[in-house]
Structure 1
Amino acid sequence: MSRLDYVFTSESVSEGHPDKLCDRISDAVLDALLAEDPLARVACETFATTNRVVIGGEVGLRDQGRLRAFKGNVEGIVREAVRDIGYEQDKFHHATVEVTNLLHEQSAHIAQGVTGERGEEGAGDQGIMFGYATRETAELMPAPIQYSHAVLRRLAEARKSGAEPLLRPDAKSQISLRYAGGRPVEVTSIVLSTQHESEAQTSADIRAIVEPYVREVLPDGWIMPATKWWVNPTGAFVIGGPDGDAGLTGRKIIVDTYGGAAPHGGGAFSGKDPSKVDRSAAYAARYLAKNVVAAGLADRCTIQLSYAIGVARPLTIYADLHGTGVVDAALIERAIDQVMDLTPRGIREHLGLNRPIYARTAAYGHFGRTPDADGGFSWERTDLAEALRQAVALAA
């Protein structure tokens, strides 16, 4: 039986964190390529350090000659991403950072794997992907990661609006929640480190800036007199971003998903087009788990999907209802197979993934977001709930 009384912790990092900056650049390049060709095959990696950004990876376009022209746009894409995040430091500035572009054509052997068996579109790689949903929050997300994201998003809004001009882009948050009876009831500790303007500013000065925003975001009654605050606990944090610590695409996979509250298959998302099941099948698994919970079939749900390179259909579909289900998990598995085509093409078409919707996912989590009118975060919809209920009823 699952524990009902415990303390659980999750962390988030801001859009200005070096790794997140790299995720943003990789996804901005992906978006630009999908705008050129909705069926573009992209695996874009970014590395950032003091005054330098390096882009590498593979691109496949239906008209490969367009790649040569596109490569001239990459420097502008990088500079715009860095500018939007807010970097104007002496040693990392959107106007002066050196950009090296090493993108090249996709491997023919990978391309033939995606073409797949019998001419079907196969998975771009083997692997396992997980999706998770829980009734802890309105977004059906684990509360510690959802609120860790929310704190940093709110601080970024205050910084960019000019309300808090002394804050800078690089930041990390960490929230520990006490659960009673399986529900989050109290914040036991808040850890927040944020880059700031001057070495003359103390930890107490920074806490005075950020505390009102933290209290605004967290639910009433969760912050108690005994809650421990650790704000910039090492003191000054003026040198930040890639000048303070090198960044790399794909190093924040737990921040991107469920904050450690659910399994992770190991594959990163950013910079990958939706033929790559690391990304698209993880989105599909979240979509399915969320719809299982939204349908009232369970209070918690984990979905696992597995794939083989070049093979179109998933090898396995697994559901774990964590003892909260109103039906047997095997019925959920059969219902999932009936209501959604889980081939790479089926996922792309069902969720509308061949669109430039990815740069916005690069910070503050890929899940627990509000679906956008243009199709962004489509995997957060709950429009499959009724179909799942009906399929389970027929299978019972």
Structure 2
Amino acid sequence: MRHVLTSEAVTRGHPDKLCDQVADGVLDALLTEDPEARVACEAAVWENHLLLFGEISARQEPDYEVVAREVLRDIGYDRPGLGLDADHCDIQIRFHPQSPDIAQGVSHRSAEDTGAGDQGIMTGYACRETPELMPLPVTLAGALVKRLDHMRRSGGMPWLLPDGKAQVSVAYEDGRPARITTVVLSAQHTPNVRTDALREVLRREVILPVLPPALTGEEPLLYINPTGRFVIGGPAGDTGLTGRKAVSDAYGGAAHHGGGSLAGKD
């Protein structure tokens, strides 16, 4: 029996993943101030604007704007000209307290009697396809974007910009990975790099070091920046929202998913 499974992953600078990280940054800051805080933080980003919204009940709250700008700066949106500038972007904050109707079902004196603030479907399992005990396609997609991020942040490829994504297709035979069939890698870049040079260096320095040789005897189809140009990216090219990369953050389509955002929730 043969089937092909395709999974994707995105870099830290992708608009949706950027929002996840800001929401998680807010959550971490709140729990540092108040471990009992109730948090459901969402984020949306477009061009040079960031919106933080949701439900928060806490005895002490951090400076949300400072937290958000620090996260954006760490991701790499640390200067003008990238479509989003951590130091000068417009940040709107629209939080309100958790509903008292929900709170009465969540907070109790006894930990054993404490309920959840929402319902949700969670699926989890382990498999022997990778050392991480995760399905191979999503593990490889994640490794590709991590390496892309590393090359950008280390200065090894100074023409790389924060946005990017990868997609990996793996053919399975009798339930086991048999061959990597296709890899798609899209990397945002400065306008002064030639497409053919970019494709060659990303193939040599990012893709091939990540792919296991045992599964690439027949070299996979490689699509590197398939449109030929990826200069306008990040929030300047696409609106971002928390929770839209929930499947790539879990099992990459290899398992059921409830659809809820994993970011910004206590």
- Superposition map of 1:168-247 within 5 A: 168-198=161-191, 201-202=194-195, 204-211=196-203, 212-247=205-240
How far residue 78 of structure 1 moved from its aligned partner, in angstroms, is 1.1
State the one-letter code of the partner of 1:251: R
Aligned length: 262
- Superposition map of 1:29-108 within 5 A: 29-61=26-58, 63=59, 66-67=60-61, 70=62, 73-87=63-77, 88-90=79-81, 91-108=83-100
CA contact (8 A) 1:199 1:238 kept: no
Aligned equivalents of 2:126, 2:191: Cα separation in 1: 41
CA contact (8 A) 1:190 1:228 kept: yes
Aligned residue for 1:131, secondary structure, equals coil
Corresponding residue for residue 291 of structure 1: none
Q: Render the CA deviation track for 1:243-277: whole Å, top value 9, x for unaligned.
A: 1101011111111100000111222110100xxxx
What TM-score do you get using the length of structure 1 for normalisation?
0.63
Aligned residue for 2:88, secondary structure, equals coil
Query: Gapped runs of 5+ residues in structure 2?
Result: none
Identity %: 48
Relative to its length, the structure with more helix (as a share) is 1
Aligned equivalents of 1:251, 1:207: Cα separation in 2: 28
Query: Gapped runs of 5+ residues in structure 1?
Result: 274-396
Find out whether 1:269 has 2:262 as its counterpart: yes
Aligned residue for 1:221, secondary structure, equals helix
CA contact (8 A) 1:187 1:224 kept: no
How far residue 187 of structure 1 moved from its aligned partner, in angstroms, is 1.2
How far residue 199 of structure 1 moved from its aligned partner, in angstroms, is 5.8
- Superposition map of 1:246-395 within 5 A: 246-273=239-266
Corresponding residue for residue 14 of structure 1: 11
Q: Once superposed, which parts of structure 1, at least 4 consecutive aligned residues long, lie more than 4 Å away?
A: 116-119
How far residue 180 of structure 1 moved from its aligned partner, in angstroms, is 2.6
Aligned equivalents of 1:200, 1:12: Cα separation in 2: 24
Aligned residue for 2:183, secondary structure, equals strand
How far residue 200 of structure 1 moved from its aligned partner, in angstroms, is 5.0
Find out whether 1:136 has 2:133 as its counterpart: no
Corresponding residue for residue 22 of structure 2: 25
Q: Render the CA deviation track for 1:101-159: whole Å, top value 9, x for unaligned.
A: 11222221121121369981011112321112211111110000001000100110111
Alignment root-mean-square deviation, CA: 1.8
- Cα 1:159–1:272 change in 2 (3 A) is same
Aligned equivalents of 1:222, 1:197: Cα separation in 2: 33
State the one-letter code of the partner of 1:190: V
Aligned equivalents of 2:80, 2:240: Cα separation in 1: 16
CA contact (8 A) 2:188 2:231 kept: yes
What TM-score do you get using the length of structure 2 for normalisation?
0.93
Aligned equivalents of 1:229, 1:253: Cα separation in 2: 25
Aligned equivalents of 1:200, 1:167: Cα separation in 2: 9
Aligned equivalents of 1:86, 1:264: Cα separation in 2: 30
Aligned equivalents of 2:15, 2:89: Cα separation in 1: 14
